[in-house]
Amino acid sequence: MPDIQSVMDKAKVAVVTGASSGIGLAAAKAFAARGMCVVLADIDRERLADAEKQVAGLSDNPATDVVSIQTDVSDRSAVEALERTVLERFGRVHLLMNNAGIQPGSSLFGPQANWDRVLGVNLMGVIHGTRVFGSGMVAHGKPAMIINTGSKQGITTPPGDPAYNVAKAGVKAFTEALAHDLRNTEGCQVSAHLLIPGFVFTPLTSRGRTEKPAGAWTAEQTVDFMMESLARGDFYILCPDNDVDRATDEKRIAWAAGDIIENRPPLSRWHPDYTAKFEAYLKG
């Protein structure tokens, strides 16, 4: 597995999707501050231009090392065009962060458009990015990383937004398969990592609020934790926040798996017959 320094070094190239705000922008800034060349990709042209200026302010060579490219990650042909542009400019990619995500809300029998868009961006965007960029990252033979942004909602799948849960559960399964494939590819120097944020105050989660809730982390805190986890070589980057520590996350995840093992009703944590049992388990 490549170490973080061998990937995030001066003149190495990072591509970040969903880079116009939130975790993606914070990551792009962190990579630029380390001396990397950074490609910011997002669908929102106006916000992307502003993000490029912010990232350029942290680069030693902004004119040559920072670029933004409008991209709809749900469209494979657009991602292929992104790769061609990046390779023409920089030659190779050392870090790919498939981070683009949306959350318009969904219900099981709600509008089809919400399902199509969420699955297209949050799941297929990760798959397109990995499949389009990944083979070239393996082929160039240098240390490299693919970081896919998942969610705790893709693990414990709480009720309320099934399309988002399905997409993020798919990201988890896909990234686990990717890690297995990469480590069994002879001579491969590319590692895979699953970022699992906690409650992070971003435009995606703000829901109209202008001030960060006390329980939320900032995007910068999340990226700092991600960098520390990558330095350790972690695959599962399970982020806490100001309300939920790792021990609580572990119990919630274990309880969700226990629904299958103990043949409880699905999502028993929210089932009236099991709510009190779950609370007692959590306290114990």
Q: Give catalytic residue positions.
A: 164
CA distances from 212 to 23, 138, 162, 206, 209 (A): 14, 40, 25, 8, 7
| The one-letter amino acid at 174 | F
Q: Which two tokens stand for residue 44?
A: 């929102």
Concatenated DSSP letters for the chain? ---HHHHSSTT-EEEEESTTSHHHHHHHHHHHHTT-EEEEEES-HHHHHHHHHHHHTT-SSHHHHEEEEE--TT-HHHHHHHHHHHHHHHS--SEEEE---------TTS-HHHHHHHIIIIIHHHHHHHHHHHHHHHHT-S-EEEEEE--GGGTT--TT-HHHHHHHHHHHHHHHHHHHHHHTSTT--EEEEEEE--SB-STTT-TT--S--TTPBPHHHHHHHHHHHHHHT-SEEE---SS--HHHHHHHHHHHHHHHHTTPPTTGGGSTTTHHHHHHHHH-
Q: 121 with 101: CB under 8 angstroms? A: yes
Buried b vs exposed e over 190-215: b needs ≥16 C-beta within 10 Å?
bbbbbbbbbbbbbeeeeeeeeebeee
